[in-house]
Amino acid sequence: MAEQFYTVAEAKQILRESDLVHTATTVIAAHTLVEACEHDPDVTFEDMLRCLDYRGTIATVGARCLYVRTGRDGLGWKPGAPDGKTYVTDRADWERYLHEHFPKTVA
């Protein structure tokens, strides 16, 4: 595993408090979450969905967290999206998916 610059708690706080601006700090915070998402229950679906609000690189990282945690489309850690499509990074799409497949874990 790569060395983390932030704890999960610090990364979550950075992403919650940022104005949805891509900076080195927010990108590293998002990558901290993806490193921990598979094994750390402190990384919640809401944290992953917050990453989608950023769009771009951070949204892709958040989507990867969601794919790993949910197993959606059988992706997990597999490289690339299926059939050359891009990862789903739309928050509303993920909220629908989570409500359908994980109804007790999202608000």
Q: Which residue has the tokens 């950023």?
A: 54
Q: pLDDT tens per residue, the chain (107 residues)?
A: 445 689 999 999 999 999 999 999 999 999 999 999 999 999 999 999 999 999 999 999 999 999 999 998 877 767 666 666 678 999 999 999 999 999 887 76
pLDDT at position 87:
83
Q: What is the pTM assigned to this prediction?
A: 0.87
How far does CA 39 lie from the centroid of its chain? Answer: 14
